[in-house]
Amino acid sequence: MPDKLIRIQRQTGDAPRRRPVMIAIAGDSAAGKTTLTSGLVATLGPDRVTAICVDDYHRYDREERKPLPFTALHPDCNYLDIMEQHLQLLAAGHPILKPVYDHGTGQLARPELVSPAEFVVVEGLLPLHSKLSRACFDIAIYLDPPEEIRHGWKVRRDTEKRGYREEQVRAELRRREPESAAYIRPQRAAADIVVRFAPIPGRDDPPGTPLSGELLLRPTIRHPDLSVVLDGRRTVHVRLNRDTDGRPVDALHIHGYASAEETALVRRAIWPQLGLPGEPPGSLGDLGGGRRSEPLAITQLLLLHHLLGAAETQHAAFAAATP
Amino acid sequence: MPDKLIRIQRQTGDAPRRRPVMIAIAGDSAAGKTTLTSGLVATLGPDRVTAICVDDYHRYDREERKPLPFTALHPDCNYLDIMEQHLQLLAAGHPILKPVYDHGTGQLARPELVSPAEFVVVEGLLPLHSKLSRACFDIAIYLDPPEEIRHGWKVRRDTEKRGYREEQVRAELRRREPESAAYIRPQRAAADIVVRFAPIPGRDDPPGTPLSGELLLRPTIRHPDLSVVLDGRRTVHVRLNRDTDGRPVDALHIHGYASAEETALVRRAIWPQLGLPGEPPGSLGDLGGGRRSEPLAITQLLLLHHLLGAAETQHAAFAAATP
């Protein structure tokens, strides 16, 4: 009944609603999504950021999944239509009642109310799966570590925190590989920034050398101009490159052995532009367990630059629309 | 970012979507909502009807509610904004991930996917609480038994099925009374049909006399013309009446001791108009436990008449909008 839809619209009203800036952090299991997110939340403060994980949209609990012919990575194993619906609602500034998957017990729990703060960070396996979900984001990130490194991270996390044995984790990784290839990795093409923490190819660095960071800065969003500050630097630099599909792209390299002096240069170039009080906090670059990564810190600074820039545009639009 | 909302809209598309006919069945605890609903679902068939209970939108589980200064009837004790959101989504033909409250354990469980069928029956304590929720319905019913009768029903159900003792139920009813008055009963004013099963006032019928039905048929929706079939009948009749606020209203009376002959007249007048195959099923008027009520059966027939009539209008509108 169109007249009913009109009645509903009349009740919802036309008042402009404050909408959040939304960032997707997509990537395979143990690709570093939560580590990347934590530094953003800690720097902006939990009051300004709502962080959700879309793996909560699992359709089945762990027991129910066992006899199924696909893994938790498969779109059919998730309520992706509801995920899309909830992303749309959040993007429009509405609260949602989000499902909750408990990684500890493997069970689906009672849902929780999520109201979008100024920023919404959406991490998970499939946030960039569909055109509709992608349309909900202002900034899209894909975490793309080399597979052998990600496998190592997953083994460590799942044995230390989730009670699995190493051979179980490796078997699960093998079982998931076809679905990783089919559903997770294609999201790389939809990202504005592809983040890769890895050893530098072709170098035979000794074990324990910190990983370097390579960030593909695709021209799908406007990136800050770092060329001046980085001109002539050896361990932090931007180079014009070709993307895997041949399209031109800027590649920001932060070497794992970059000197504190050179990374400090980048921090000092970006931080004042953010308009945040004080000095860059120690949570930037925090890997947990007392370890730090300069490439991670600079990646997080760059994402903060994008988030705060988008928020400024957003506030201006809201102010213009409000009488 | 308005451009983001436009991107989202472009992805959701403009194709007309089949929308369900929605009926609200509001009323206090143990007012007979589920009994009324069951006959509708059984007659139309579960494939054509989605029945939900909005008491599932409880914000707290039973333990969490104990120290709170209000009962489950209070709007603040429920996610009413999410209920409104979900009713809007259903009204527009979208699925929802509905929260689930387990009356047995008093706990909130994992949510469940609900896709709207051709008809959506929404029963519960507060479906007509707000203007926005009311706008989502094509037909709104309020169940209005006399309080002493409802208390008796609640004592019986909660002692037999939910493991309470009678004095516990009576204490809970006293505790809830202010909130019943403040939040439940005001919904009566928003109903298109007010249904009251009660003894006939002023008569001293012996115990065990079946309850009569009085249906206020408000002119907010178009009711079938029963005057011809009921003309001159004594135990089933329509009378012009005044509503509690003085406005004119038709009142359909079905006496509890109506003869089978007279109620059959009404059935035969309404049933063929519904376009359903066969004879009126035995589920109409079923009170459970092998007991039946003719006034309930006729109430359900009248609601089916409204539901199927609204569906016809709906189908015509959908056909007109589809190329």
Give the model's pLDDT for residue B14: 63
pLDDT for A277 beyond 80: yes
pLDDT of residue A169: 96
Task: Delimit the CATH 3.40.50.300 region(s) of chain A.
Answer: 1-9+16-190
Query: Which pLDDT value is given to residue A2?
Result: 57
The mean pLDDT of chain A is 91
Supply the pLDDT for residue A54: 97
Which of A74-88, A106-120, A155-169, A242-256 has the lowest average pLDDT?
A242-256
With H, G, I as helix, E, B as strand and everything else as coil, classify residue B195: strand
ipTM of the complex: 0.90
Say yes or no: B311 contacts chain A, CB-CB below 8 A.
Answer: no
* Phi, psi for residue A297 in degrees, rounded to 5: -60, -45
Which chain A residues are closer than 8 Å to B8 by Cβ? Answer: 88, 91-92, 132, 135-136
Where does the pLDDT of residue A103 fall: very low under 50, low under 70, confident under 90, or very high at 90 and above? confident
Judge whether residue A4 has pLDDT over 90: no
- Contact flag B108-A108 (C-beta cutoff 8 Å): no
Compare CB distances from B138 to A4, A89, A135 and report the shortest one's residue. Answer: A4
Among the four given CATH numbers 3.30.870.10, 3.40.1080.10, 3.40.50.1980, 3.40.50.300, the one describing domain B20-141: 3.40.50.300
B13 touches chain A (CB under 8 A): no
**Interchain pair A132, B91: CB under 8 A:** no
Homologous superfamily (CATH) of A1-9+16-190 is P-loop containing nucleotide triphosphate hydrolases (3.40.50.300)
Q: Sorting pLDDT into bands at 50, 70 and 90, what band is B96? A: very high
Q: What is the mean pLDDT of residues A209-235?
A: 85
Using the Cβ of B88 and the Cβ atoms of chain A, whether some distance falls under 8 Å is answered with yes
Query: Distance from CA of residue A189 to its chain's centroid?
Result: 14
pLDDT digits (tens, 9 = 90+) for A30-41: 999 999 999 999
On the question of pLDDT at B2 being above 80, the answer is no
- Please say if the pLDDT value at position B323 is more than 90: no
> Would the CB atoms of B97 and A94 count as touching at under 8 Å?
no
Q: Please check whether residue A96 touches B, CB under 8 A.
A: yes
| B312 interface with A at CB cutoff 8 Å | no
pLDDT digits (tens, 9 = 90+) for B23-39: 999 999 999 999 999 99
User: Which of chain B's residues have a Cβ under 8 Å away from the Cβ of A81?
Assistant: 95
> pLDDT digit string (tens) for B13-70?
766 788 999 999 999 999 999 999 999 999 999 999 999 999 999 999 999 999 999 9
How would residue A131 be classed by pLDDT, with cut points 50, 70 and 90? very high
* Per-residue pLDDT, A261: 78
Which amino acid type is present at position A40? L
Cβ within 8 Å of residue B306, ≥6 positions away: B23, B138, B139, B221, B223
Mutate which of B11, B64, B128, B220 to disrupt the A interface (most A C-beta within 10 Å)?
B11
Can you tell me the mean pLDDT for B281-296?
A: 90
B178 has a pLDDT exceeding 90: yes
3-state secondary structure B91-115: HCCCCEEEEEEECCCCEEEEEEEEC
What is the per-residue pLDDT across A233-253, written as a single tens digit (0 to 9) for each?
778 888 888 988 888 899 999
Enumerate the residues of chain A whose CB falls inside 8 A of the CB of residue B1: 19, 138, 310, 313-314, 317
- 66-85 in A: which are within 8 Å (CB) of B? 79, 81-82, 85
- Find the mean pLDDT for residues B301-313: 94
pLDDT of residue A1 exceeding 70, the answer is no
DSSP H/E element including A311: helix A294-321
pLDDT for the residue A14: 63
Q: Are A186 and A180 in contact (CB under 8 A)?
A: no
Nearest to A126 by CA among A169, A190, A177, A172: A190
Mean pLDDT calculated for residue range A66-83: 96
Residue B300 has pLDDT above 80, yes or no: yes
Residue A132 with chain B: CB contacts under 8 Å: 8, 11-12
Report pLDDT for B281.
87
Cβ pair B8:A61 closer than 8 A: no
Residue B255: HSE in the Cβ half-sphere, 13 Å Cα cutoff: 16
Q: What is the pLDDT of residue A79?
A: 98
- How many beta-carbon pairs under 8 angstroms link A with B? 103
Q: Which of B8, B132, B314 sits opposite A88 (nearest CB)?
A: B8
Which part of chain B has CATH 3.40.50.300? 20-141
Instruction: Please report which helix (H) or strand (E) contains residue A83, including its range.
Output: helix A80-91
Whether B79 and A1 lie within 8 Å, measured CB to CB: no
Q: Tokens representing A313? A: 């545009």
Measured on CA atoms in the order A60, A65, A69, A70, is the torsion positive or negative? positive
